[in-house]
Amino acid sequence: MTFTIAIIGRPNVGKSTLFNRLVGKKLALVDDQPGVTRDRREGNATLGDLDFTVIDTAGLEQGGEGSLPARMRAQTEAAIVAADAIFFVIDARTGITPTDRHFADLVRRAGKPLILIANKAEGRAGLAGAYDAFDLGLGDPVALSAEHNEGFAELYAALLAALPGATGLTVNAAPAEAAGVDVNARVDAHVDTEGDGSELDRSKPLRVAIVGRPNAGKSTLLNRVLNEERLLTGPEAGITRDAIAVDAQWRERTIKFFDTAGLRRKARIQDKLEKLAVSDAIRAVKFAEVVVLLLDATIPFEKQDLTIADLVEREGRALVIGLNKWDLIAEPGKTLRELRLSAERLLPQLRGTAVVPVAGQTGEGLNKLLDAVLATELAWNRRVSTGKLNRWLGAAIEATPPPAVAGRRIKIRYMTQAKARPPHFVIFGNQLPALPESYKRFLINGLRQSFGFGGVPLRLSLKSGKNPFDKR
C-alpha cells in the first residue's frame, strides 16, 4: 500500500521549501517572490521511517474563470483529489490572513486527513504566529521551519496520528526529477550493448526532455500524450517554470517526459525567476536520454532553435525535432520537404535527425513522433562490432584516402567503438594529429549514414602510435 500527500497553501508560505526538504533535493524552484510554483510536481519523500509521494502545488489564489490563477487553482484541486492526506501550510511570521481562512474551508470540505503546518516558525516571532493558527479550526498546528530543518519530529508524529496505518508503507515508483541527479553516474551504470541496441534495458524509463522556445506548445503536446490536463497551459507565454516529470506508456515502454520552461536568448532574460527556470530546463536536457526540440511550424528554425539543438549535441543527447502546430500549415507536403532540407543544412552536426510534423491540439502525428523517439534511442545505444567498423573503414579509405600533409602520408590502421550513449569511436594510426577536420567530418558522416546514427551526436578520438626512433 502507498500514500500520497499534497502540500497546499497560499503563495509564498514555503511549500516548495518544505517539498525540497522532504524529498532531500532542491527539485522545486524557490524564490522570495510569491507565485513561483505553477504546475504540480511529484517527488519521493522520506520522513523518519516513512516513504511516501509528496505533491508540491501552486499557491492558492482567487481569480476569475479562465484566468491563470483559476487554472493554477484547478491544478491544486486535482492534487487534493489525488492525495490521501493534506499538509495545509501557513506563514507563522505573517499570521492568519483572509486568504488562509478562505482556502481552509476548501481543504476542510475535501474530507481528507489534514495536518496544519505553521512554517517559518523559527524564533520567538514565528512561534507566536504559530499559535494564531488555532483560529482556523483545523486542529493543532505543527510549528516548523522547512528552511532551517526544525520541527520535523513533530510533523512525523502528526502524520502517524493522521494516518495510523502509515508505518512501513513505501512507494513503488521513484519519479526522479531533472535537478540534483548525478548524470555521469547514471550513464556509467548503464551496460552498453552489442548490435543494434535491442538489448538495452527496457525495464528503466526512457527519459525524454521536451524543449523549445516559449509558446511552442510543449505543455499542450504532453497533455495530449497523457490524455489529461496534467500540465498548466494557456495563451500566455512562459507559463511553465519548473521542469515537471510525468510518466507515460508507449508500445509497452515507460517514458518519463520532462516538460520544461521556454528557452529564450540569454540577452533577453533579465528576470531572476526566468533565469532559474532556464537553468532547470538545461538540467533537464543534461539528464535526458532523448531530447524533443519542439518548433512552432509557422516560424521554424529561428536562431534560438539552432542554439538549443547545438546545446543538445554538446551534451551528447539524442535529438528528435517536432514541428508543432502543423494543423495551421497551408501546404503541408511542400513545407515538410523544405523544412527537412533546412534541418540537414542548418544542423550538419546532427545530420539525419528525424523531423516529425505534429499538432498538440488535435494529436495529429503523435504516434510518429513517439516512434521516432524510440528509434533514436536505439541509435543512441547502438554498438557496432569492430569487424564491421573496419570493413567499412577500409572501403571508405580506399575510395577517399586521407590527404598527405606537408608531404607526409597519414596512415589509418583501424577503428573501434569505445562506448555508446553517445557513440564514441577511436581511430588508431600514424600522423593522426595532422588529419584535417574535413576528413574527420567525412568519416563521421559516413558512420552516421552507414550505421543509422541519424539525430545522434558522434564522438571521434585519434590515437597515434609512438615512433621508437624519434628521440624527441
Residue 472 to residue 470: CA distance in whole angstroms: 5
Q: What is each CA distance from 28 to 23, 178, 288, in whole angstroms?
A: 10, 10, 18
4-166: which CATH topology?
Answer: Rossmann fold (3.40.50)
Phi, psi for 72 (deg, rounded to 5): -65, -40
Confidence at residue 215, expressed as pLDDT on a 0 to 100 scale: 87
Closest among 309, 287, 384, 383 to 353, alpha carbons compared: 309
Phi, psi for 234 (deg, rounded to 5): 165, 175
82 CA to centre of own chain: 23
Is it true that domain 183-381 has CATH number 3.40.50.300?
yes
Ramachandran assignment for 66, one of left (phi > 0), alpha (psi -120 to 50 degrees), beta (any other) = left
Q: Among 1.10.1040.10, 3.30.300.20, 3.40.47.10, 3.20.20.370, name the CATH number for the domain at 386-464.
A: 3.30.300.20
- Print pLDDT tens along the chain (472 aa): 479 999 998 888 889 899 999 998 887 766 556 556 667 888 999 998 899 999 998 777 666 666 767 777 788 888 888 899 999 999 988 888 888 888 888 888 888 999 999 999 887 666 766 777 888 888 889 999 999 999 999 999 999 998 876 654 443 333 333 333 332 332 233 333 344 544 467 888 999 999 999 889 998 999 999 888 877 777 676 677 677 889 999 988 999 999 988 887 765 555 666 677 788 889 899 999 999 999 999 999 999 999 999 999 999 999 999 999 999 999 999 999 999 999 999 999 999 999 999 999 999 999 999 999 999 999 999 999 999 999 999 999 999 999 887 777 889 999 999 999 999 999 999 888 889 999 999 999 999 999 999 999 999 999 986 655 556 5
Confidence at residue 270, expressed as pLDDT on a 0 to 100 scale: 57
Domain boundaries, the chain: 4-166, 183-381, 386-464
Q: Is the whole model's pTM more than 0.85, yes or no?
A: no
| Cβ contact 228:81 at 8 Å | no
Do 4-166 and 386-464 fold alike per CATH? no
